[in-house]
Amino acid sequence: MRAHLGDQLVVESTTSGATRRDGEIVGLHHEDGTPPYDVRWSDTNEVTLVFPGPDAHVNHLEPTPPRTAHGSSSREAGGGQAAAERAPATDGTGPGDIGRRVIAERQRQGLSREETARRARMSPGYLAYLEEYPADPSEAALINLADALGTTVTALRGGGVDLPPGQGQALPHPRLRDLGADECRALLSTHGVGRVAVTAPDGRPAVVPVNYEVVDDTIAFRTAPDSLPAAAVGTEVAFEVDHVDEALSQGWSVLAVGPASIVTEADAVRRLTELAHTTPWPGGARDMWVSIRAASLTGRRITAADQ
């Protein structure tokens, strides 16, 4: 195990009833980054010396900052409000849903990142990570953040995940805008779950969710020859992906329309299979790849009017 200053140490629970803990590594005792570490725990804000066991792992949060002439990192030397309020990551990763909700709520209340971290009893550096990268904070960290922001853990997580989306209240001043082709491609991303609209064998319209990949600007999904999604083959279909943030009453959708066909070339099938991020969630024998080449790509996004 090796770590850098600012990385996150996560200790998973191996005992029934015990809770998962995480904290920021604020001190190293070996130049090569091996244990032990000084860790500031997110649930107590206390710093302790930790010898990680087999139930612990390190999340490398960002590239190690350059060292100053005095041996401290630029994160430490630059500290303070300016560093705490640095711009979000621009490496294409971006924040996760929890991070976006935290940012929106503290900005709505006019709170700085440093003040929010103080109220939540966590370091500004750790809060910066939660806001800038997809993160999985512990229950204790979420409770502290929710208390600091005057909201709930359920709201920060998105709430009501088992309910149909869109049951929350609309924004007071919503803004609906069309998305450009580049933004649509970015949101379509590389994989996930989308919906393909087909005409069923009985002539009725149907919309079916599928696990999909995007390879070389082509949408592809795996299915079985006798399945409903297979009805897409040889026709022009609509393929849709979307995201709804229930807590913020915001969301987006992207619609791709184009011809669907079976992927038969052996090398193409092999490449799709190798690049696939997951197997089809329904399970079973679903080895037929169907590709959709988008002739048109459109999308819309709902945000607050001032965003």
List pLDDT tens digits, range 117-145. Answer: 999 888 888 888 888 887 778 778 888 89
Question: Nearest CA to 45 among 128, 150, 165, 126?
Answer: 126
Residue ranges of the chain that CATH labels 2.30.110.10: 176-304
Q: What is the CA angle 278-91-281, rounded to 5? A: 10
d(CA 131, CA 4): 19
With 60 as the cut, is the pLDDT of residue 69 above it? no
Count Cβ neighbours within 10 Å for each residue of 129-153 and write b for 16 or more, e otherwise.
Answer: bbbbbebebbebbbbbbbebbebeb
CATH number of 176-304: 2.30.110.10
Element (H, E) at 117: helix 113-120
Percent of the chain whose pLDDT exceeds 90: 41
Q: State pTM to two decimals.
A: 0.56
91: tokens are 């490496």
By the 8 A CB rule, do 115 and 108 touch?
no
Using CA atoms, how far apart are residues 255 and 207, in angstroms rounded to an integer? 13
**Which tokens is 287 given?**
């080895």
pLDDT tens, residue by residue, 33-44: 888 888 888 877
Q: CB atoms < 10 A from the CB of 230, how many? A: 19
pLDDT at 16 over 60: no
Residue 185 has pLDDT above 80, yes or no: yes
The CATH classification number of 1-159 equals: 1.10.260.40
Residue range(s) in the chain whose domain bears CATH number 1.10.260.40? 1-159
| Mean pLDDT along residues 169-188 | 91
Q: How much is the pLDDT for 184?
A: 95
Q: Is the pLDDT of residue 75 over 60?
A: no
Q: How confident is the model at residue 296 (pLDDT cuts 50, 70, 90)?
A: very high
SS3 call for 206: strand
pLDDT of 82 strictly over 90: no
Give residue 294's pLDDT band: very low, low, confident or very high (50, 70, 90): very high
Backbone dihedral region for residue 13 (phi beyond 0: left; psi -120 to 50: alpha; all else: beta)? beta
Task: Tell me the β-bridge partners of 25.
Answer: 39
pLDDT at 83: 36
- Phi and psi angles of residue 280, each rounded to the nearest 5 degrees, phi first: -55, 130
